[in-house]
Amino acid sequence: MTGLEMLALEMLHSSSMHSTLTHLECSRCKKSFPSGQLVNLCACGGPLLARYDLSRAAKTLSLEALRDRPPTMWRYEELLPAAGEPVTLGEGMTPLVHAQRLGARMGLGRLYVKDEGLNPTGSFKARGLSAAVTRAKELNAKKLATPTAGNAGGALAAYAARAGLAAIVVMPADTPEANEIECRAAGAEVVKLDGLISDCGRYVAERGPREGWYEVTTLKEPYRIEGKKTMGFEAWEQLGGKLPDVILYPTGGGVGMIGMWKAFAELEALGLCGAKRPRMVTVQASGCAPVVRAFDQGAAASEPWENASTIASGLRVPKALGDFLVLAAVRESGGTAVAVTDAEIVAEARALAAEEGIFAAPEGAAGIAAVRKLAERGWIARDEVVVAYNTGSGYKYLPSWRQALGM
Ligand SMILES: Cc1ncc(COP(=O)(O)O)c(C=O)c1O
């Protein structure tokens, strides 16, 4: 290839692969915001959602075009917010594992586990923080702060380090040790509080403006959801351009659920899927199940859960900012909401490891426990395509695993 041909190819590549981000829109009052400045929530309290020029994106994004793109979530570049080179560690394109043996024992022929534990930093939080740190860097933030149940903090610390930015992570004192260690290793400042993630959230919100931190708290920052939505794009792509019949998602803040719901609407707008959606299932732990309770009561939003407690630390969110969006997605999709006990989580974590070789986080195992319940009830049929997200790696929860194995 001549130098001129190579230059032409590079130009073609850069002109055909770029973000079509246009603006941000409030998820409550629909007010528009420019995308070129650092923002958090709308004045009405609503989280902001990224909007794209979908007709422009449709010109270049297709199943065919994706074949030659790098195996990271940034392959969906048209529908992601990076203006230039993203801050990446290779997140995304995690395996969609056909759980044949586990599925067969539940009477399901097409159960798949999307193994998010294989992401950089060992959880799906890598996706959201790659997107958020990319934008924060582009918009000149200097110090990024987040409350965390653990994994988001680890991911923020890593991506901030990669971007050369400072990070402060605020976590409950009983967060898994691996999360604290990974944050400190990446050079983040770590604050541990006696309390829950909601207390950590208050701490960041109070000090952030005073200290000049940019808050990348779930849903208070518009781009984490953009990273997480790629879990939905990938399921579609890995199933050959088809959406599954059922998706199970372990829900704390619910951002993955909101993100995937948004992803499917974008795919439809691009003509890449039809109007039929997967039935979306929110899975929570019975020791902290505010969204399940709201779903059962027919409420539009949840009430704070008292004395939240579960081994699935990522699900210990007493009240999520985006609960109303999660509930809307679950209902619109014809889905449901299921709570599972810690004992059920432990049993399914062991089954997933022993029968499929997947060493899961308790949050991921919660999804499998819900699959079992819904299959037993006949809510999921034998031949339906079911995708359960294992949102994190078991390696981050070794003390819980030690206990589960009676060691
Ligand atoms: C492993 C794991 N799974 C699930 C969740 C819940 O994620 P979301 O806030 O998107 O509901 C978390 C959040 O901390 C997590 O760390």
Q: What is the pLDDT of residue 186?
A: 98
Q: Is 400 in the pocket of ligand 1 (CB under 6 A)?
A: no
What is the distance in A from the centroid of ligand 1 to the CA of 281? Answer: 14
Tell me the pLDDT band of 4, cut-offs 50, 70 and 90.
very low
Contact 363/389 with Cβ under 8 angstroms?
A: no
Distance between CA atoms of residues 235 and 164, nearest Å: 32
Query: pLDDT tens digit string along 125-161?
Result: 999 999 999 999 999 999 999 999 999 999 999 999 9
Q: What is the pLDDT of residue 372?
A: 98
**Residue 235 corresponds to which tokens in the numbers above?**
């399921």
Residue with tokens 């732990």: 285
Q: Is 391 in the pocket of ligand 1 (CB under 6 A)?
A: yes
Choose one of 121, 124, 247 to mutate for the ligand 1 pocket test, by most ligand atoms within 8 angstroms of C-beta. Answer: 124
Tell me the pLDDT band of 7, cut-offs 50, 70 and 90.
very low
Q: Is 146 in the pocket of ligand 1 (CB under 6 A)?
A: no
Q: What is the pLDDT of residue 204?
A: 97
What is the distance in A from the centroid of ligand 1 to the CA of 367? Answer: 12
The amino acid occupying position 24 is L
Cα–Cα distances in angstroms (integers) from residue 268 to residues 64, 75, 92, 263, 376, in the given order = 16, 18, 21, 9, 32
Q: DSSP letters of 319-368?
A: S-TTHHHHHHHHHHTT-EEEEE-HHHHHHHHHHHHHHH---B-HHHHHHH
Tell me the pLDDT band of 387, cut-offs 50, 70 and 90.
very high
What percentage of the chain reaches a pLDDT higher than 70?
A: 96
Which residue has the CA at smallest separation from atom 2 of ligand 1?
314
Find all residues with CB under 8 Å of 14, minimum gap 6, and list them.
Answer: none
Which residue has the CA at smallest separation from atom 12 of ligand 1?
314
Whether 217 has a pLDDT exceeding 90, the answer reads: yes
Q: What is the mean predicted confidence (pLDDT) over 246-268?
A: 97
Task: Using the atom order of ligand 1, give the atom closest to the CA of residue 320.
Answer: 9
Q: What is the mean predicted confidence (pLDDT) over 378-383?
A: 98
Burial of 233 (0-12, 13-18, 19+ CB in 10 A): buried
Q: What is the pTM of this model?
A: 0.94
**What's phi and psi for 113, nearest 5 deg?**
-115, 120
Query: pLDDT tens digit string along 304-330?
Result: 999 999 999 999 999 998 999 999 999
Q: DSSP letters of 200-246?
A: HHHHHHHHHHHHTPEE--TTTSSSHHHHHHHHHHHHHHHTTS---SE
Q: Is 251 in the pocket of ligand 1 (CB under 6 A)?
A: yes
Contact 200/189 with Cβ under 8 angstroms?
A: no
Contact 309/262 with Cβ under 8 angstroms?
A: no
Which residue has the CA at smallest separation from atom 14 of ligand 1?
314
Tell me the pLDDT band of 11, cut-offs 50, 70 and 90.
very low
CA 161 to chain centre: 21
- C-beta atoms surrounding 57 within 10 Å: 21
Query: pLDDT tens digit string along 21-76?
Result: 999 999 999 999 999 999 999 999 999 999 999 999 999 999 999 999 999 999 99
What is the distance in A from the centroid of ligand 1 to the CA of 250? Answer: 7
Q: What is the pLDDT of residue 3?
A: 47
Q: What is the pLDDT of residue 99?
A: 98
Write out the H or E segment, with its range, that includes residue 266: helix 255-269
What is the distance in A from the centroid of ligand 1 to the CA of 316? Answer: 9
Query: pLDDT tens digit string along 170-182?
Result: 999 999 999 999 9
Cα–Cα distances in angstroms (integers) from residue 64 to residues 20, 67, 69, 363, in the given order = 19, 6, 10, 34
Q: Is 152 in the pocket of ligand 1 (CB under 6 A)?
A: yes
To the nearest 10 degrees (0 to 180), the angle between helices 151-163 and 125-138 is: 40
Task: Using the atom order of ligand 1, give the atom closest to the CA of residue 128.
Answer: 10
Q: Which domains does the chain have, with CATH numbers?
A: 3-79 (no CATH), 96-123+223-404 (3.40.50.1100), 125-215 (3.40.50.1100)
Q: Is 149 in the pocket of ligand 1 (CB under 6 A)?
A: yes
**What's phi and psi for 15, nearest 5 deg?**
-85, -20
Q: What is the pLDDT of residue 13?
A: 40
**Residue 281 corresponds to which tokens in the numbers above?**
């299932």
Choose one of 305, 363, 368, 397 to mutate for the ligand 1 pocket test, by most ligand atoms within 8 angstroms of C-beta. Answer: 363
Nearest alpha-carbon partner for 132 in 110, 103, 109, 152: 152
Q: What is the pLDDT of residue 395?
A: 97
The amino acid occupying position 123 is S
Give the chain's mean pLDDT. 95
What is the distance in A from the centroid of ligand 1 to the CA of 78? Answer: 26
Cα–Cα distances in angstroms (integers) from residue 378 to residues 45, 102, 127, 279, 305, in the given order = 40, 17, 33, 14, 29
Whether 351 has a pLDDT exceeding 60, the answer reads: yes
**Residue 343 corresponds to which tokens in the numbers above?**
């004992």
Q: Is 394 in the pocket of ligand 1 (CB under 6 A)?
A: no
